[in-house]
Structure formats: C-alpha cells, structure tokens
Structure 1
C-alpha cells in the first residue's frame, strides 16, 4: 500500500467519524429537549377537557409519545459509546499501520528526527454547549479532554493541570479567548499549543492574535481532520 493510500485511509476514517458524530450530537440535544418538555405538554393536554381532542384517541400512541424521548436518549447514548469505541479502534489501527510503513523523517540528513507533537491532554474552551458536545464526541476517543465555558474557567483549570493543547473559542462571555490567551501564556508551558476557534474570518487580525500567544486557528465547527492536519503541520514546523 502506498503512502498516498495510507493517508487516504486515515482521512477516510476521520471524515466518517466526523460525519456521524456531528448529527448524532444534534440528535442527542433534540432528544434531551423532547424528554424535558414533551411529557409535560402531553400531560397538560390529557388533563384538559378543552384540549384533550388535540390528542389521538389511542392510549398506546399517547404512551409512546410520553416514553419515546427517554428511549431515544438511551439509544443515542449507546450508539455514541459504540461509535467512540469503533472510531478509536480504527484510528489506532490506521496510526499503527502508518508508523510501521512510514519510518521517522530526519532533518536534512543530520540524523536528528523531526519533533512530533505528542498530544495527550486537551482543554476545549467554548461557551456553546453544541460545540463542547461536538468536541467531546471527536476528541475523547483519542485524548484526555477537559472543558471550560469561558476564559476564567480555562485559567482555573490550567492552574491545576498541564495541557498539551488548548482549543480556545475567541468569542465568549466573562473573558474571551484573546484575554484568556494573554493571561495564560505566562502561566503555562511554552510548548503548549493554543489554537483559536472562530466562525468568523481572521483576516488582518491574524498577526495580532499570533502576537497574543495563539499558535494557529481553526474554523468552527471543529473537525478531527482539520485539527490533526494542523497538528501535523506544527510538528513539521517545530
């Protein structure tokens, strides 16, 4: 198998995982909303003589409406666990195969291996639950991941634990990503990678943001493919 085929195999696994994980997270959020509100709505309709006619005259169907959200949540959680296990296994196999078939690169014949970025601990900082859920689905099969909702929480966690990689949303309440990164850089290892996450173009602000302490940037929503491509680039440029 050629190097190009190896790369295609790994990218295919990453793309497949992301394509499944994102709609699964959205489905879980919808099921949680249904589980929280639908039973109360159905109960109100059942108990109201004026509104009872809005429901079908079928007790089995009404029972299904009451119990379906909890069943959906349980099944989705089971599916997510199985997908996480499967994706971790597939990515592990792909990485092991690549490490066997592709020997370490060396710098200009000097005999010194090019440094690779060994990421074990990750902190994802984002105030939006959907992006934290997507990050959890994508990252937890591969890394030890913690989460923060704003820059203040990120600083608190970094005072307690070392992180190899920080994924920092730029726009958050209380303390945004720029302020948090400026505050964190003197307090954390210079080897820690801080990647800014944004749904808006960086444009001319890029150089100023890099000067604040960011290593690089990725567009939201986060994908495993784009993250690992960036990390490989950081490894080769180190």
Structure 2
C-alpha cells in the first residue's frame, strides 16, 4: 500500500533532502510544515483503515444475513404470529432510518428496501423535517449523531408524531443502566448495530404481541 510506503520512507527522504546543501534551500521553511508532512502518511493510513473496516463490516453483515435469512423460516419471514407476506411485519409499511454514517444507511437500504418503504435521514434535524412531511410507522434512530443526536430528536419528535409510531434506538454500545431513561424519552426499544433484518422483525413481533 502506498500509504504504508510513505509512513516507512518519507521521514528518511525529508532528512536526506534537509542534509543536502543543494536541495535544502528549495524546501519550504517552517517546523509546522515539516511536522505536517511527517504526520500526513500516518493520518492517511489511519483513515484508510477506518474505511476498510466499515467496508468489511458492511460486506460481512450482508453476507451473514443473506446466508441466514430464509423465507422458509417462519420467524424470519414473519409468517407466524404478527408477520405477513414477503417478510413484512403487520402494520409496518413505512420506515425512516436515521443515521449519520453512510455504511449503516447502505446496510439499511440493502436489507429494508426489498421489504419496506424506506427513507433516510442523516441526523435528528433532518428526521424532524421528514416526519413533518410524511407519516412513518417505524423510526430507526441512531443514538449518536452530529447536529442533533437520537435522544434529542426522539424527545422532539414524540409530541409531533402518532402515538402508534415505533422508535427503535440504534447503537453499537451497550444501553445498560441508561435503558429506563431512554425509554422515558420516547424510545420503544433498542437494536444493536449493524442492523439485522431478522433481529428487527423479531423485536417488532415482540411489541406487536405485547400491544
């Protein structure tokens, strides 16, 4: 990888250039610039690793769910209990997925679009605007987002949307002792990220049976 080559060799190249009288005068002056040049390859490599990790996460999630989601499984296709045709859980037709990360919106689109009518928002402010324009049966709300996080958005949304609208919080971190407080804010329940269609429909059936 070119970034790794820069990490390994750029410091030496800069030292060689600085030690050469003929070339030293042509180099830009300034210690901050030198530090920036030395740090750039590592920053680039770190960013590439983050991107690769998210790509791997997306691929693994889609492969896992493709292998495990079968329409012959009554729990997977929703044919028992509150389920319906094509894997759709009864009464859930429209979904708003709110998440600031592209990779998780991509996962949601791949998994949900064949089954439900799905829209997407990047943060809580966008979610509020979209809910003012359209009714959603289910909102999947990431808890940690810029501009307006999932907690703030849920508190703001509850007086503006139907009491029947389900809001599932999405998080990659344990809820723990915060669960009761989050439920009081207006969340219906919680799902772990990355999103799993099977886990989503199982949770929907649970709340349908308890309704």
Does the TM-score normalized on the shorter chain lie above 0.5?
yes
Q: 1:156 to 1:232 in 2, by over 3 A?
A: same
Question: Unmatched 5+ residue regions in structure 2?
Answer: 1-62, 83-88
Could you say which residue in structure 1 is the equivalent of 2:206? Answer: 233
> What's the CA shift string for 1:118-146, capped at 9, x where partnerless?
10000000000000000000000000000
Given that 2:171 and 2:193 are in contact with CA atoms closer than 8 Å, whether structure 1 keeps it comes out as yes
Q: Which residue of 1 aligns with 2:184?
A: 211
Task: Tell me the matched-pair count.
Answer: 137
Secondary structure of 2:92's match? coil
Q: Which has the larger radius of gyration?
A: 2
> Is residue 126 of structure 1 aligned with residue 99 of structure 2?
yes
| Residues 38-187 of structure 1: pairs in structure 2 closer than 5 A | 91=71, 99=79, 117-187=90-160
Residues 129 and 117 from structure 1, CA distance in 2 versus in 1: closer, same or farther, beyond 3 angstroms? same
SS of 1:233's equivalent in the other structure is: helix
What is the RMSD of the two structures over their aligned residues, measured on CA atoms? 2.4
Which whole-Å CA distance do the structure 1 matches of 2:73 and 2:182 have between them? 35
Q: Structure 1: 5+ residue runs without aligned partners? A: 1-82, 105-115
C-alpha distance in structure 2 between counterparts of 1:103 and 1:198, whole Å: 27
CA contact (8 A) 1:152 1:174 kept: yes
2:161 aligned with 1:201: no
Shift of 1:232: 0.7
- Normalising by structure 1, we get a TM-score of 0.53
Aligned twin of 1:192? 165
Structure 1 stretches (4+) deviating beyond 4 angstroms? Answer: none
The answer (yes or no) to whether the contact 1:197–1:220 under 8 Å persists in 2 is yes
Change (3 A) 1:145 1:173: same
The answer (yes or no) to whether the contact 1:124–1:132 under 8 Å persists in 2 is: yes
Distance 1:94 1:227, change over 3 A: same
The secondary structure found in structure 2 opposite 1:185 is helix
Cα separation, 2, equivalents of 1:94 and 1:158: 33
